[in-house]
Amino acid sequence: MKYSRVLVTGGAGFIGSHLVDALVKNGVTIRVIDDLSSGFKQNLEHLDKIEFIEEDISKLDVIQKVVSDIDIIFHIAANASVPMSVENPTLDYMSNMTGTFNLLKTCLDSEVKKIVYASSAAIFGEPKYLPINEEHSKMPISPYGASKLAAELYGFAFQETYGIKFTSLRIFNAIGPRQPRYVIFDFLNKLKKDNSNLDILGTGKNIRDFIYVGDVVKIFIDCAEKAISDGEAYNLGTGVGISITELAIKILKELNLNNTKLTYTGFSWKGDILKLISNPNKLKKDLNIKKFTPLSEALSDEINWFQQKIGKI
């Protein structure tokens, strides 16, 4: 890897910890900052050659110390919950906007050459067409989507104004081991408690584009390495959508649960988007991606992890 001193914000979380695993194999010096509000230190306990700092990126004095001798930043730390952003927009702003601005501002007086930022498909709001390409209009319908979009725009503005290279990766729905919440984990957790019935939030008709966390990590590292990604935004999805009901059926099949009844709450939450499917053409072209991990393989990996670490179903 062409960068030797790496900072991963949110590095104890789901995507962040997998990224740290991959970076360790690249032999770089790694510093992780995570306040453990949603991450888990045990995600990194098997690694002994990283520096871990338990702190909040919204604290400017902390960020100034953490960034001082870094070459590249993978910025993943954020509130990643749409419902939480609706319930507490101030917390969402502090985490996603203040934290990102502090990071960008501090980079001006540091050796940082590039930032690879974890954005979100939530910036698009309800799509006007599918699949969603990078040029699709941005009209977020939640504080979370708004804060991710604003942070992304600040990053590009700092590249134009100050020359700090910035790449934004708009993640659709990443899945895999260590995912501590969201639809697949929630399904598995419910089935662990009672596998006779699976209660699905909403109608089950929502469509999502799931991408394996291993693919996400590879894309993050490729963007760090390749100059073609400087100043670019990419949609991180496979281009294949699946309804939540179809997803539930796949999970039940993987678990050999043939008699589980599906029920629906009929209501969802504010900020929920009905359909999200990525157009990955730009991503594939610029980063020379030939294929993505099949959903069946990604599901199997997460289910195996869950049963080993959380409990048998």
CA separation (Å) from 115 to 9, 165, 305? 11, 6, 31
Q: Which helix (H) or strand (E) holds 62?
A: helix 60-67
Put residue 65 in one of left, alpha, beta given phi > 0 → left and psi -120 to 50 → alpha.
alpha
> If you search the block for the tokens 């504080």, which residue do you land on?
143
Neighbours of 301 (CB within 10 A): 17
Q: Are 103 and 57 in contact (CB under 8 A)?
A: yes
| 212 is an active site residue | no
C-alpha 169/C-alpha 286 separation (Å) is 13
C-alpha 165/C-alpha 113 separation (Å) is 6
Q: Are 278 and 236 in contact (CB under 8 A)?
A: yes
Neighbours of 43 (CB within 10 A): 22
C-alpha 157/C-alpha 179 separation (Å) is 32
Candidates 117, 144, 154, 212; catalytic one: 144
C-alpha 123/C-alpha 4 separation (Å) is 32
C-alpha 85/C-alpha 93 separation (Å) is 8
Give the residue numbers marked as catalytic. 144
